[in-house]
Amino acid sequence: MAESKDILIDYVLHLADNSMILGQRNAEWCGHGPVLEQDIALTNITLDLIGEARSLYQYAAELKGGDSTEDSMAFLRDVMQYRNTLLLEQKNTDWAYTITRQFFYDVFHYYLQEALVNSSDERLKEIAKKTIKESTYHLKWSSEWMIRLGDGTEISHLKMQNALNDLWEYSGEFFIPSATEIEMQSQGIGADLNALSVKWKSKVEEILNEATLNIPESSFQQKGGKTGLHSEHMGYILAEMQYLQRAYPGAEW
Amino acid sequence: MEIKLEEIFQEKIDQEIKIEPRDWMPEKYRKTLLRQISQHAHSEIVGMLPEGNWITRAPNLRRKVALLAKVQDEAGHGLYLYSAAETLGMSRDEMLEELHSGKAKYSSIFNYPTLTWADMGAIGWLVDGAAIMNQVPLCRTSYGPYARAMVRVCKEESFHQRQGYEIMLTLSKGTEAQKAMAQDALNRWWWPSIMMFGPNDDNSPNSAQSMKWKIKRFSNDELRQKFVDVTVAQTEILGLTIPDKDLKWNAERGHYDFGTINWDEFFQVVAGNGPCNKQRLKARVDAWENGAWVREAASAYAEKREAKVKNQIEAA
């Protein structure tokens, strides 16, 4: 019994870490966006993502019990305990990379919520019901930017194609199931990643086609994030994010 | 003719009738407002930087979300204010060009660095607090679009101020290290905050005209005094000390007396020699230049779409 609770916690943390780490990355843009309206729009998305992560961390903390809180989940776990995919910890680089990373996640995140609103876990179901409203908007926003920049100027097209080529190898990890995800799917709690993968590919192809961008030919996909094998970026992200909690243990803020 | 128009204009002002974009106004009124509103908009945008600096390091998730939302509000304020200023005949891009070239100013307070988390508290409490003192009267300023923008701005600012004070309160009840952090932030932000009201009245040449036009309603020194009076009591609740040995209650005046402001520092920062002037401006210029291809692509795509729609209509 205890073991099955641990698996659920691991799954909830995986979902939370995905949105948390992308939110943390996006937050770096706040005040530096290419135009004021889009600075505001990206911050809205960031707020949604961190808001979702909080709901999930709170759930994980309740499952875990003891002194656990949303903050101990986010601020007191180290790199190897984080469960987000590698894509989400990649650098912002520029608006092209940021939009492409966001778009890959939004497509996945949207279809994931579509599945989780039918989860047999009541709490995850409730969170997904709220999140799907937000991720519908996120997907619309990033799809429009993919199209606008892909089919904008020569320069923007080139930048988008480069970002797409570079980030492509991180797009498949969503669908390479971890042991936790396999177990969660079998219990009717988690999503069917194979089905999600088909929907993801079809949506991505549709948008990239309209954006006049080419799907990279390389099929090799990086993985590791779901089991704590992260890229070198992750240590820096957490060092920055967790600095105050680590430097002043136990303090209230 | 001109004299007659100016009389009608002043009459409206005296009767508290708002001036609207299409109304006749003296050229100097238009210029003064354009300068003031665009500076105000720039201050919001540059003001995102010192606080934005701490979003990724916020100490817990609640604070992170609140800080993000706050900095986003500032972007929103920038938008309302640029829109208000545009009604006076200058585009947002032109205003930004003046900011980037250094011709336009913004509030000097944002040229100070944010060194610790307590600075998020001190900025909310003191800087937003001082801004509110300045801005509440602007909700009744004579130019309609500015007054209306300020109503929205003020509502959010008062929320920011409470949020900042709450950070200070939490720190002041915390560990010794946190209390020291809060005191240090107060030490660094106090004087720059009371400088935010601008030069003393006898050294503020444009003030009289702005008062007559009801762009301004209170003098710099009046507002500054009001801010000091209110803030002393708040500081006592925090158990912190305002870094001014001359600060004391003056029963005769019914106000706190306070020490002499270092105007040399103020004018140095205005002139570009504050600790972060160069970094702040560079961050804005970088964001603008790095975003150029994005804005160009968005326009190019919009034009393509428009042409497509036009072709479809013609073909039909």
Q: Quick one: which H or E segment has residue A167?
A: helix A154-167
pLDDT band for B2, please (50, 70, 90 cuts): low
pLDDT of residue B190: 98
Per-residue pLDDT tens over the stretch A189-217: 999 999 999 999 999 999 999 999 999 98
Q: Which pLDDT does position B1 carry in this prediction?
A: 63
Q: Which of residues 211-250 of A touch B (CB under 8 A)?
A: 240-241, 243-245, 248
* pLDDT exceeds cutoff 50 at A23: yes
pLDDT in tens, B43-79: 999 999 999 999 999 999 999 999 999 999 999 999 9
Q: Does domain A2-247 have CATH number 3.40.50.10140?
A: no
- Range 34-53 of A in CB contact (< 8 A) with B: 34-40, 43-44, 46-47, 50-51, 53
Residue of B nearest to A147 (CA): B301
Question: Is the distance from CB of B112 to CB of B188 less than 8 angstroms?
Answer: yes
Residue at A102: amino acid letter: Q
Tell if the CB–CB gap between B61 and A147 is shorter than 8 Å.
Answer: no
Q: How high is the pLDDT of residue A1?
A: 45
Task: Please report the pLDDT score of residue B205 as a whole number.
Answer: 77
* Region at A216 (left for phi over 0; alpha for psi -120 to 50; beta for the rest): beta
| Mutation site for A-interface testing, chosen from B57, B281, B293, B303 by largest number of A Cβ within 10 Å | B293
For residue B55, list chain A residues with Cβ-Cβ distance below 8 A.
27-28, 30
- Taking the domains of chain A in order of start, what are their residue ranges? 2-247
The answer, yes or no, to whether residue A161 has pLDDT greater than 80, is yes
pTM for the model stands at 0.96
- Using a CB–CB cutoff of 8 Å, tell me whether A78 touches chain B: no
Sign, CA torsion A73/A76/A79/A81? negative
pLDDT of A11 higher than 60: yes
Tens digits of per-residue pLDDT, B212-232?
999 999 999 999 999 999 999
Say if the Cβ atoms of B117 and A244 lie within 8 Å: yes
- Specify the DSSP class assigned to residue B270: I
Q: Which of B178, B283, B291 sits opposite A35 (nearest CB)?
A: B291
Q: What is the pLDDT of residues A105-134, one digit of tens each?
A: 999 999 999 999 999 999 999 999 999 999
Res A219: pLDDT: 82
Average of pLDDT values for B132-161? 94
Give contacts of B294 with chain A, Cβ < 8 Å: 34-35, 38, 95, 149, 156
Q: Kindly tell me if the per-residue pLDDT of B282 is higher than 60.
A: yes
Contact at CB, B75 and A252, closer than 8 angstroms: no
Cβ atoms within 10 Å, residue B74: 26
Q: Which of A148, A155, A210, A243 to mutate to test the interface with B (most CBs of B within 10 A)?
A: A148
Q: Which residue has the tokens 């291809």?
A: B293
pLDDT, mean of residues A34-61: 98
Which one has a higher pLDDT value, B314 or B296?
A: B296
B301 touches chain A (CB under 8 A): yes
**pLDDT > 70? residue B172:** yes
Q: Do residue B57 and residue A244 have CB atoms under 8 angstroms apart?
A: yes
Nearest-by-Cβ selection for A94 from B64, B75, B290: B290
Cα separation, B257 vs A120, in Å, equals 67
Closest CA to B156 of B85, B74, B231: B74
Rounded distance, CA A6 to CA A1, Å?
Answer: 9
Q: Do B170 and A253 touch (CB under 8 A)?
A: yes
- A222-237 mean pLDDT: 98
Distances, alpha carbon B35 to alpha carbons A93, B90, B191, in Å: 35, 10, 25
Please report the number of interchain residue pairs, chain A to chain B, with beta-carbon separation below 8 angstroms. 138
- Count CB atoms within 10 A of the CB of residue B312: 9
How confident is the prediction for chain B on average, in pLDDT?
A: 96
Q: What is the pLDDT of residue A2?
A: 52
8 Å CB contact between B255 and B229: yes
From chain B, the residues in CB contact with A74 under 8 A are 60-61
- pLDDT over 90 at B204, yes or no: no
- Mean per-residue pLDDT over chain A, rounded: 97
User: What pLDDT is attached to residue B307?
Assistant: 93
Contact A43 B72 (CB under 8 A): yes
How far is B308 from chain A, CA to nearest CA, in Å? 13
pLDDT of residue B255: 98
pLDDT tops 90 at residue A40: yes
- What average pLDDT does the segment B6-25 reach? 96
Could you give the percent of chain A with pLDDT greater than 90?
97
